[in-house]
Structures are given as C-alpha cells and as structure tokens.
Structure 1
Amino acid sequence: MMQKYLWIQIFVLLSSFSFSVETDYASIFSFGDSFSDTGNIVLIYGPARTDLVMTKPPYGMTFFDHPSGRLSDGRLIIDFIAEALGLPLLPPSFAANRSFEHGANFATAGGTALDRAFFVANNFTVMSPFNISLGDQLGWLDGMKPSLCGCKPGGCEGYFSESLFFVGELGWNDYSAVLLAGRGVDEARSLTPRVVGTIRAATQKLIDGGARTVFVSGITPMGCSSANLVLFAGSSEADYEPDTGCLRSLNLLSMEHNRQLRHALAQLGGARIIYGDFYTPLVELAATPRRFGEPRHSSDLRAN
C-alpha cells in the first residue's frame, strides 16, 4: 500500500509545485535518500554486489523497461520535477562519463541527515557501510564544483542562482536506525532537534554557496509504512489511528519532525525556500482511500 500512497503524493506535490516555482532553471541538484536516489547506491556498491533488489525486475519496469538503480518500478519525485521543468532526468553523481551540465543527483539510498559515525558511536543500527549522509553529499558537491562552474560567469554563485536545489525526505533513516536498534520511539524523537538542525545548516550552506531556490521536504507518515506496520506492530487497538489504521506513535514522530523542520526553515533568509509536505497526502489517502480509487481494507494497512 505504501507504494500506492507514494504515487498519489507525487501527483499532489507536483500539482502544487508547478504553480509555485518558475520554469527557467538551468539545472537541478538533489540530495536525500532512496526517495530520490537515481542510482548512486548501486554505483557505490559496484558490480560485485549482486543482491541489491533495485538491480533486478520488477524495479524500473513500468517506465525504463529495465532496472534503473531507483527503488521504484518507475520514476521518482525528482524525475517528475525535472520533466516538469523541461530538464533531463538527473544522473547520479557517481555516474562515469555523464554530463552534469543540467545538474547532478547526490541522493543515496539509506542516506541520513546525521553522519554515520554518530550512529556507530551510539550503537544504533547502521543503515549503510558507506559514508552517505547529507554532510557527505554536500562534500561531493564541493568536489564537483571546479568542473561544474569553474569557467562560468560569476563562478558557482552565478551558476547556482539559476539552479533548483532539492533536499529530500531526510530523517526517516535517522529515526529508523534508532527504532531498529530497539531503542524506542521516545529515543528516536529525542534526535529530532539534531536531525532538523543538520538539515537547516545544510540548507543554509547551499544558500551561502549561491542557491536562490531550495526545496526541502518533510518526511512521510512513518506509521503508515507497510514495513513499519509489520516490524513495530502494536499490541492493542489504541496503538493505531482509528481513521487510517497507521501506527499512532510513529506518525506523531513524523509530525513532530515536520513541525520542527518548518519552523527551522522559516528562520532562514536570502533565498526562496519551498517546504514539501510529504505527510498530508498520504494520511489523506490512508483515511479516505475511496477518494483515490482504492478500496479500504484494514488488512492492506496493517499486514500487507
């Protein structure tokens, strides 16, 4: 069910996005996790890793006709945004022999806001053996700057002023690292100020580097995720929201993250900052699936 929720969320997001941004961007630079990774994690692991699910059908089969490195059977939000702006689909930043004239995608599946060393030091479940946090992704951009804008008028500041920066859906994996370690929702929630502060600082760094439009998304309702509904199943009806069937405590965690993130972004200046609500459309679908052509089955929400 969560995959179906995601498609509704994509189209709701794009319907508002198309009316809220100009369409003359020369490039897009994207950061995040699996929601926007267009192949980096596959390239980082390399051909020796043959068990990655996104390298096999049915991934990629409904649009690309072959696995594309995306954790989707088709396109991602960042793909639809690029198409809406008349730009090519973003290549992963680790791709060889690719042009990054129109931007690059640094997002990597499993990416976190906080550095990997933090999770290791606190005995949380480490999501990846690689350093792929938001800070690492910003470092990759720094390393690419000489080839991106070394010869452009105004340097990187001039180039980036005509670019759209997308900071997508970070925080989910940070909280999952705590939850999967068995440390509980309260401890996961205690990280929210640190997670949000990291995203805010990264957004400010992009602005300081010349970005004039930055899209920053909140996180989806963690309590509606099919995997979380199984992994963290409640012991009583009170653990579930009566209108959605989603796990109450995890959705409250998502809402608190999004509340703090909106507040933090509102304090930034010097650029146009767009907040992407990835929460509300999915909760609306879970609560009223018939509005979107989906029958309501409690088993879909809690077990499948």
Structure 2
Amino acid sequence: MATSRFQIYILAFYASLLVLKCSCLGNSVHQRKHAALFIFGDALFDNGNNNYLNTTTKYQSNFWPYGETFFNHSTGRFSDGRLISDFIAEYAKLPLIPPYLQPGSKDYTYGINFASSAAGALADTHPGFVIDLTTQLSFFKKVEKHLRHKLGDDDAHTLLSEAVYLISIGGNDYFAPFVKKLQFL
C-alpha cells in the first residue's frame, strides 16, 4: 500500500513538472506569434525615411496632401493613405512598421522600414538626396547587430531567418538619367 502511494506521489510530481514546463514554454520569449517585416526600396515602400534626411523637399512628402485621408497628417509616404507594405503588415497582424531613421525606433522585433523615395539600386541614382540600396543594406547590418546583442545569436538568427523581406527598387535607376538631362535643357 505504501509503495503504490509512493508511486502515485512520484507520478503526480512528474506530471506537475510536465505541466509546469509546458506552461513556461507557452510564455517563452523564444516563441513569437509573428514574423518580422523588413522593407527595402523606393517611394512604393518609403513610409517617411526621407523626412529625416537633411535635403531639399524634392524627395520628401511631409506636407499636404500626403497622408491626409488615412492618417490626418503628413507621414512621409508618397501616398494619401497607406502603402502596400502597410497593408501587408496589417494582414500579418503587425503594427505599422516604422521608418528606420525615425528617432526612437529601436524595437526591431516586428521589423523596420529602410525604403527611401527616389532611391535606386545604383548609388548614382540621386546621390546625396536619398538612401540608396547599399546604404539600406548597411542599416540592416546595424539592425542585425542590435538584434544579436539584444536577443542573443540564436534568437536573432531565428527572427531573421523567419522574417519576411519586401524589396521594390530599381525603377528610379532607369528614370534618373532622363531627369538629369531634362534639367539641363
């Protein structure tokens, strides 16, 4: 009788450990219910990075009517409302992904937006006025380093390997030479 009671206690002990372990795993930081969204590109995806560049307003959209319909204020999007990347974030149940250059944007677990209006894949496309693709990628390297420091190598690797990457760039590379020639006429 004492032996069977002892066995029940041991069984109950192991069962409680199993329940405790499963409940802890459910609340673990390691298990995310979302994938991060990293966005690279030009005006189709720029949600305000150019607002933080010290350049002319030629490649910025922080004035009326941009953003007025949906946001009720200018946002830096070359759109009166949301961008394709905003709809994708909403569909994925993510918050609006902030621009990388926006002050205070340091939580990269949902992703970040590097896009810059008028940018090109080539560094010669509007140099000094936009964030070209090479610079966007160097910003991403900084984010990767920040995530590795904050989350650790394994969790950062998991987050980055499960992330969704949106890229739309290159159209300005075709148009920039024509715009330069028209300016000299």
Same fold (TM over 0.5): yes
Deviates more, 1:82-91 or 1:153-162: 153-162
2:47 to 30, 38, 43: 38
**Contact kept in structure 1, 2:49 and 2:101, CA below 8 Å:** yes
Question: Counterpart of 1:178 in structure 2: which amino acid?
Answer: P
**SS state at 2:95 partner:** coil
Partners of 2:132 and 2:73 in 1: how far apart?
Answer: 28
**SS state at 2:53 partner:** helix
Q: Which runs of 5+ in 1 are unaligned?
A: 1-23, 117-125, 184-304
Q: Which runs of 5+ in 2 are unaligned?
A: 1-32
Partner of 2:154: 154
Partner of 1:196: none
TM-score (normalised: structure 2): 0.72
Partner of 2:109: 101
Partners of 2:48 and 2:73 in 1: how far apart?
Answer: 13
1:214-251 per-position Cα deviation (integer Å, ceiling 9, x unaligned): xxxxxxxxxxxxxxxxxxxxxxxxxxxxxxxxxxxxxx
Partners of 1:40 and 1:133 in 2: how far apart?
Answer: 12
2:120 to 109, 112, 117: 112
- Pairs within 5 Å for 1:1-304: 25-45=34-54, 54-98=61-105, 99-116=107-124, 126-130=125-129, 132-150=131-149, 151-152=151-152, 154-168=154-168, 170-182=169-181
Deviation at 1:39? 0.5
Partners of 2:115 and 2:162 in 1: how far apart?
Answer: 20
Deviation at 1:75? 0.3
Query: Percent of aligned positions with the same letter in both sequences?
Result: 36
**SS state at 1:154 partner:** helix
Question: Counterpart of 2:166 in structure 1: which amino acid?
Answer: F
**Contact kept in structure 2, 1:110 and 1:128, CA below 8 Å:** no
Aligned pairs, how many?
149
> Closer, same or farther in 2 for the Cα pair 1:132/1:155, shift >3 Å?
same
Runs of 4+ aligned structure 1 residues displaced above 6 Å come to none
Deviation at 1:156? 3.5
TM-score (normalised: structure 1): 0.45
1:158-199 per-position Cα deviation (integer Å, ceiling 9, x unaligned): 22122101111x11110011222449xxxxxxxxxxxxxxxx
Partners of 1:29 and 1:74 in 2: how far apart?
Answer: 20
**SS state at 1:69 partner:** coil
Deviation at 1:134? 1.1
Question: Counterpart of 1:37 in structure 2: which amino acid?
Answer: D
1:10-50 per-position Cα deviation (integer Å, ceiling 9, x unaligned): xxxxxxxxxxxxxx64210000001100110011227xx56
Question: Counterpart of 2:35 in structure 1: which amino acid?
Answer: A
Greater relative contact order structure (CA < 8 Å, 6+ sep): 2
> Closer, same or farther in 2 for the Cα pair 1:52/1:30, shift >3 Å?
closer
Question: Counterpart of 1:32 in structure 2: which amino acid?
Answer: G
**Contact kept in structure 2, 1:83 and 1:89, CA below 8 Å:** yes
Partners of 1:173 and 1:153 in 2: how far apart?
Answer: 36
**Contact kept in structure 2, 1:152 and 1:159, CA below 8 Å:** no
